[in-house]
Chain A
């Protein structure tokens, strides 16, 4: 597992100005809004905890994992199933982008 500091730095490096991140972000948001959102038009901030804000529950995380594996064609390892990678939209996008580099 990576330290928090280095993790967010890596995320910032990856997602600086790369167009890939924007696309991934849109796809992730679309998946979340199609599957989890409570109200039409609600768009969570990219740093909001999806679990604590009630957008996703623990089975929702499994669905998210299945979606990422299916869409981006890579297998997520057990040790990658951590909040840093999956609990915020920013974290998810950074994680996917990092794995696809």
Chain B
């Protein structure tokens, strides 16, 4: 079994059924099967073969879905890049994974100008929309979607050579260092995760899932993969920027499943939801960060017909835990237990398996656990360590948990200092290294501050060189140029000096706790606006 068999099987069972609704148009399984097959042939004709990496830089769209399956059908490995990536990080990822081709939509052209110089290993580019602008400014070997499709016509039969131990995808994610890491996922990993989640959500072909999460985020990507697995319909939206319209869409499309992150639910709970007809909603899922207990209660009141799933996961294993909705009343603060076909436990500081009540690192054992980080042996060895059976590896998540007597797990915090904001993981080092590149800044430290909407907002403390005229606005603008939106600090505090620990390093922990005492909420946090 391979990931693209999801599409092929559903196209065989329900060729005329709507697989994707995007921008008000409906696309059947048969159509997507045909188009992705043609794309695969076009990729093969241009030299893409087994194991080659092909990147996708697109907003949520049917073309993005077709690209995923087209790349897999060509025996290649897909990478979905966040549309908010800045040039330097985008080039870093493309170079690091050795991408041979890039598929993107027309709007991205101005942002990736001069890409060929920055990524010399990239052979060609396919643009949904016109290719001329790309050929002139981005890459001389640029083809339009139509040209690629035409090349794929009459290209003969497509025979898959991959096996399920081959990589299906690499997902880049923040680590504890400044550079992102490529999580390697095999077909087996992805199928295992998808099947486990489908099992506890009890999905059926009647499900209609609304996905506003970017497909570059594994939580968004799996909505598409899972729907294609069980033969449902996925309604794709670009973002949650206009929640009123999103709720109208739930009504219009009779959506049954709504995956979200706490930031989205916090926004929804500010609206009067009683005016929408939302009775089609069968379930709501939350992951990426913990949903406050009070929000869970209010969501249940607003969506009485929907079951609410509190979940926890990380890209390295996709999903690790879920709380069965019937346990919500008894265990509202818990993110539950292991997902089906997976085993988890907690280890104490000595690396021994810990019992109830002890705070320790969560360890995951299952066929959903990644193969490792692409070209990063040290990080791979730190995350994947020997398991129960000879030769097997289990995942050390870096997340601290506590287990109760009944085996339910409670998230405590990160082992390292990664920050979760808007459901995204941010490495303080990445933000700090951007700050250090700014002329005039001599020291920088980044800490999370609580925010009602974002979960955490990012705050930066800096010291500046003598005579420097830097102000907050200039520093934030600098960050915007080099960081994705979610990683940009919301406020900057200028200090004479920053506290150091005995080894001479800046003491982030001290800054964080001192900041919390002096300022109960983020100074400019949007969640604190009186709306």
Contact = CB atoms under 8 A, between A and B. Distances in A.
Nearest to A34: B473
A40 B477 CA distance: 9
A20 interface: no
A78 B270 CA distance: 9
Contact of B531 (A58, A69, A83): A69
Contacts of A39: 477, 481
Interface string B203-220: 000000000000000000
A58 B243 CA distance: 10
B526 A83 contact: no
Which interface residue of B242, B245, B453, B473 has the most chain A CB atoms within 10 A? B242
Contact of A57 (B84, B111, B272): B84
A66 B242 contact: no
Contacts of A40: 477
Contacts of B477: 37-40
Contacts of A78: 243-244, 271-272
Nearest to B267: A62
What 7 pairs across the A-B complex have the smallest Cβ distances?
A: A58-B241, A66-B529, A78-B271, A57-B485, A81-B244, A78-B244, A62-B526
B454 interface: yes
Contacts of B272: 78
A59 interface: yes
B273 to A, nearest CB: 9
Main secondary structure of the interface of A (DSSP, over half): helix
A3 interface: no
Contact of A61 (B241, B271, B454): B241
Contact of A38 (B107, B481, B530): B481
A76 B422 CA distance: 23
A60 B480 CA distance: 13
A51 interface: yes
A65 B531 contact: yes
B172 to A, nearest CB: 19
Contact of B242 (A38, A52, A60, A82): A82
A81 B473 contact: no
Given A34-B473, A51-B241, A66-B529, 19 more contacts: A37-B477, A38-B481, A39-B477, A51-B239, A54-B84, A54-B111, A57-B239, A58-B241, A59-B453, A59-B485, A60-B485, A62-B453, A66-B526, A66-B530, A66-B531, A78-B243, A80-B244, A82-B242, A82-B245
A63 B454 CA distance: 12
Which interface residue of A39, A80, A81 has the most chain B CB atoms within 10 A? A81
B526 A59 contact: yes
Nearest to B241: A58
A45 interface: no
A58 B240 contact: yes
A15 B84 CA distance: 34
A83 B242 contact: yes
Interface string B92-122: 0000000000000001000100000000000
B173 to A, nearest CB: 19
A79 interface: yes
B480 A38 contact: yes
Given A38-B481, A63-B526, A57 B241 contact: yes
Contacts of B107: 52
Which interface residue of A62, A81, A82 has the most chain B CB atoms within 10 A? A62
Contact of B454 (A59, A60, A83): A59
B86 to A, nearest CB: 10
A20 to B, nearest CB: 24
A79 B244 contact: yes
Contacts of A63: 526, 529
Interface in B430-478: 453-454, 473, 477
